[in-house]
Structure 1
């Protein structure tokens, strides 16, 4: 369980040319680390920017390269985590060391980020494809980011992001959070919902866009997960970047998110588990 899947090439053969953030809005961009997104919030060239999530392991140099192309040789004001699963914190320690930056997460997530608690092992019985079958072998042991970790404020404010709010969206993990900016209804939902069928390796490969529930193999609390999706749908977000999948915006996205919220049991919860909820 300790060994990370998806081993990356040795540093000396990493292709930095393609380490470029893709812009969603003028001050929001993302970079995909194999199968999971990290976000950059801040206008290009600014000294006031924030990194959201840290991707899988062995991607620190590419994330730094993408950041430097967007902001120059400027460290982020903070690193924010939606949650602590291996594919969102895999490069966190190296990034925190490089930038000497504070890492913020929800208080309920801190134990999983300071070596005190482990996540449940992935559930291969949820079906849907190779990603689910392999999930029991994904790392679940806690990382230890004690040197850098700080709890997000209880009032929902986000350090260094004046117009954003942190929204507690548990279910996928106890301390999962999403980040929302009301003025233009931009949402970073982490894995509360995603825009690709993450259980299927083929869907992940082709990145077919469609709103889906959280990755089923790593979601232990479906009651809370449903509440979280309904909470986010009620915000009527216009643009969303999720932990997995391509960004979505506009009416089609809003319709699909509302449909997921209204029919969560049928669309998101694995059939063999839906009877329990």
Structure 2
């Protein structure tokens, strides 16, 4: 593990930490402190892990997986929505333990091969306490070159034949979301979230409300806006986001459309206009 990531300041937890639920028949959502990861069932009693949670959380993630799939169960692969510390915190330990491949978008590779660090957290984006703490959050790259593989260029997802990956940049250059057309299920990563991620109180209580990507780490607001509009146009029936609780049905349609149509006022920080 990159020592700077391993030893860096870690943010708060939430009331959902350690809890999981079967959101749809084959997608289990598990909350690791403040971030959601997904376990997706595939045929022959196998599964795929989406994102890898916080640093020092490998044991908790394993316990969450074994609760769902049984003792000694491990996934066939890990697929990353992007490389921020709260989504890849335990990927090195888990990929090594399970000896499985990790897939990510090619534009995310510099942050996953030790070549480039993300910009530090921006405390000026909205004045929220989490934003103010964000310069202390890990922004360092990791190096998982030996396990890392690019997602197929045709949008297919390894091992997940019903899913496609969609490039949704803005929060990071290589951010992706996953979508299954047959039941309109979306795993959005941090392209948008269902909690005000800048508010310490709302993060801790997990108050449900659609927001743009976590502002303190978002790198390109023009691209982020287009990505939200792209996901809105898919008309998802269920959205599992990287932070917050799943949202579905009319509530999701209404709130995601509102965010897409009013992104500049609802999501883009004043300092980024």
TM (norm. structure 2) is 0.93
Matches within 5 A, 1:105-120: 105-120=104-119
Matches within 5 A, 1:41-120: 41-42=40-41, 47-72=45-70, 73-120=72-119
Q: Distance in 2 between matches of 1:102 and 1:26?
A: 25
Contact 1:20/1:69 (8 A) holds in 2: no
Q: What is the deviation of 1:69? A: 1.7
Long gaps (5+) in structure 2: none
Contact 1:75/1:101 (8 A) holds in 2: no
SS of alignment partner, residue 49 of structure 1: strand
Q: Distance in 1 between matches of 2:29 and 2:8?
A: 23
Q: What is the deviation of 1:273? A: 1.3
Corresponding position of 1:236 = 235
Q: Distance in 2 between matches of 1:107 and 1:113?
A: 10
Aligned residues: 264
Q: CA RMSD in A?
A: 1.7
SS of alignment partner, residue 42 of structure 1: strand
Long gaps (5+) in structure 1: 9-17
Contact 1:46/1:71 (8 A) holds in 2: no
Q: What is the deviation of 1:128? A: 4.1
Q: Distance in 2 between matches of 1:33 and 1:75?
A: 17
SS of alignment partner, residue 196 of structure 1: coil
TM (norm. structure 1) is 0.92
Contact 2:18/2:32 (8 A) holds in 1: no
Q: Distance in 1 between matches of 2:11 and 2:259?
A: 34
Q: Distance in 2 between matches of 1:226 and 1:136?
A: 24
SS of alignment partner, residue 202 of structure 2: helix
Could you list the per-position Cα deviations for residues 182-217 of structure 1 after superposition, in whole angstroms to 9, with x for gaps in the alignment? 000000000000000000110101101111000000
